[in-house]
Amino acid sequence: ENIMHGALALALGAMCMMFSIIPSGFVANLDKIPNYYSWMKDISFCTYSWRWLNIAAWENFGVIVCSQSDLNAGICTAEQRQYRTGMDVLRNLAIDTDEQDFSILMLFVIIAAFRALGFVALYRKVSMA
């Protein structure tokens, strides 16, 4: 019986992760997510971690070099050549650099909420036994 609970937990965990990853901006641009699905990006920890990591990586990146010889050698593509700076990359991903502090705060709020839910579930299970 415990093996079935483990298998069920793995299956449900993978499904929950997919519903968290899809609206986060990792799979699709944040501004291209349909309205009926956009509420999920607000409760997804993946959204806030994706924003935070991209801001950290691209905000002060500087100039992105993709010369004609790099293009000919296949090191970069014509599509990548449109991004001249890290800020261009962030604009394309629909990420505002002013959201960094909010993203960090929301990550901590979501972590605290998951821990509180885990505590309540464990407390209920122990008190029922």
pLDDT tens-place string over residues 37-70: 778 888 888 999 999 999 999 999 988 888 888 8
Rounded Cα distance, 24 and 72, in Å: 34
| pTM confidence score | 0.74
Spatial neighbors of 110 by CB under 8 A, at least 6 apart, are 43, 45, 48
Q: pLDDT at position 1, please?
A: 54
